[in-house]
Amino acid sequence: MRGLTERVFDQLTPATRVLVAIASSTPFFVLILLGHGWVIAEPSTRGAVHTEVMLALQGLLVVATLLSIGIGVHVWPLRREPEPVEGTTLLACLTIGVTYTVIAVLAGTFTAPTGLVLLGVLAIGLLLFTLRPMVIAYVVCTVVLVGHDIGVQLGWWSYAPAVTERIFEGRKPLWGYAVWRNTVLLSAAAVLLPLIMLLFGRLDRMHARLMRLSQTDGLTGLANRRRFMEVLQAEVARRHRTGRPLCVVLIDIDHFKRVNDAHGHLAGDAVLRELAALLIASVRAPSDLPARLGGEEFALILPDTPEDEALRVCERLRERVAAQTFQGDGTPLRIGISLGLGAVHDDDVASILSDADRALYCAKAAGRNRVCLASCCERGTA
């Protein structure tokens, strides 16, 4: 259900988002319009409100309702278009935000039901719209709220201009006001709480997605250099504590520039993706980490793996790559890889990578398409 809701929100066009906002707010305008009309017409409740203020509010509600309907009619033909409707979006945000703010001001800004309604409006806006129209609407509504509060402090009007002291009969509110308050409270809570949970759920998933993007190579889906370095540092620290073996492998595609020159960069990208899939299939999951460091450079972190076993892993991988036919642009391609293997013996990450890089250089110097050990390179052999 959560995934379905996420997809629905993500696939809404700009015009459809305006329609959803209008469809969510207009029924409340009409409901409040009818409720206030009843309050003004009913003799038992008429004296509990300032009729002139309520009539002005009714006028605002009528204008907001008609304007919302007009906005809906205007954007309906555009509901399948991907282009933004910035002016209409801003008008919808201002209409909804200012109307609810005025309702809250006239009924008492910090009254629980109206406060919940305002939070609901904010949650809907954050779910549907970009930041710019929301910021503009927020600034306008804030000016209204601050202006009202200044007027209250200066004694120009009361805290809740729409109601009188008769709203309370003794120690309890007038029954009509109590019904209105409880109705708004329950309906606002029923809408607001799911919206807030959905909003924070989207933020949480967005944060997780950004974290994945910051640690993943966009072309191959492997870990990127940043993730590779983080894991390597963590594994070196773990090896220091436990004494377990650890190996690092640097991999380079032999003569990869020829693939790009002969078949194009799209074919080269396809080869990189296929090689990444082969790396994933050739190591243990999730303990081993294949990564793309950039260009045609790849790497492996092999925790809890002695050097002789890591050498077998590298040879098996090299043979699989040499035997596989890569598709590239549709033309069958054969590639080879050179691998430099270093067994970790100290806690200096730079030294570890330098050893593996030296081994990779030895593999290239010895004719490519082979595995070389850092320990052998130190003795001058390949």
Structure pTM? 0.56
Are both 55 and 74 inside the same structural domain?
yes
Contacts of 281 (CB under 8 A, 6+ apart): none
* 354 and 284 in a common domain: yes
Place of tokens 């598709």: 327
pLDDT tens digits, 241-276: 998 999 999 999 998 988 888 888 888 899 999 999
Identify the pLDDT of residue 204: 72
Shared domain check, 194 and 147: yes
Judgement on whether residues 252 and 121 belong to the same structural domain of the protein: no
pLDDT score for 169: 65
Q: Note whether 200 and 247 are same-domain residues.
A: no
Tell whether 39 is covered by a domain. yes
Question: In terms of domains, do 150 and 253 share one?
Answer: no
Tokens 């974290």 belong to which residue?
211
Please give the structure tokens belonging to residue 16: 């459809």
260 within some domain = yes
Tokens of 234: 């963590």
Whether residue 327 is contained in a domain is answered as: yes
Task: Give the span between the Cα atoms of 42 and 47, in whole angstroms.
Answer: 9
Instruction: Measure the CA–CA gap between 252 and 274, rounded to whole angstroms.
Output: 14
**How many independent structural domains does the chain possess?**
2
Contacts of 95 (CB under 8 A, 6+ apart): 64, 67, 68, 71
Q: 370 is in which domain, residue-wise?
A: 225-378
Judgement on whether residues 6 and 83 belong to the same structural domain of the protein: yes
* Shared-domain flag, residues 112 and 257: no
Q: Is residue 138 part of a domain?
A: yes
The pLDDT tens digits of the residues spanning 160-206 come to 888 887 776 666 666 666 666 666 666 666 666 666 666 666 667 77
187 domain residue, yes or no: yes
CA distances from 198 to 7, 53, 191, 194 (A): 12, 37, 11, 6
| 208 lies in the same domain as 271 | no
DSSP 199-226: HHHHHHHHHHHHHHHHHB-TTT-SB-HH
Q: What is the DSSP letter of 85?
A: -
Contact 125, 97 (CB under 8 A): yes
Q: Which residues of the chain have pLDDT under 50?
A: 1, 4, 112, 379-382
Closest C-alpha among 193, 201, 195 to residue 20: 195
256 and 156 part of one domain: no
244 and 190, same domain (yes or no) = no
Domain boundary among 215, 248, 273: 215
**pLDDT on residue 172:** 67
CATH of the domain at 337: 3.30.70.270
pLDDT of the residue at 47: 79
Distance between CA atoms of residues 204 and 46, nearest Å: 48
Coil/strand/helix, residue 350: helix
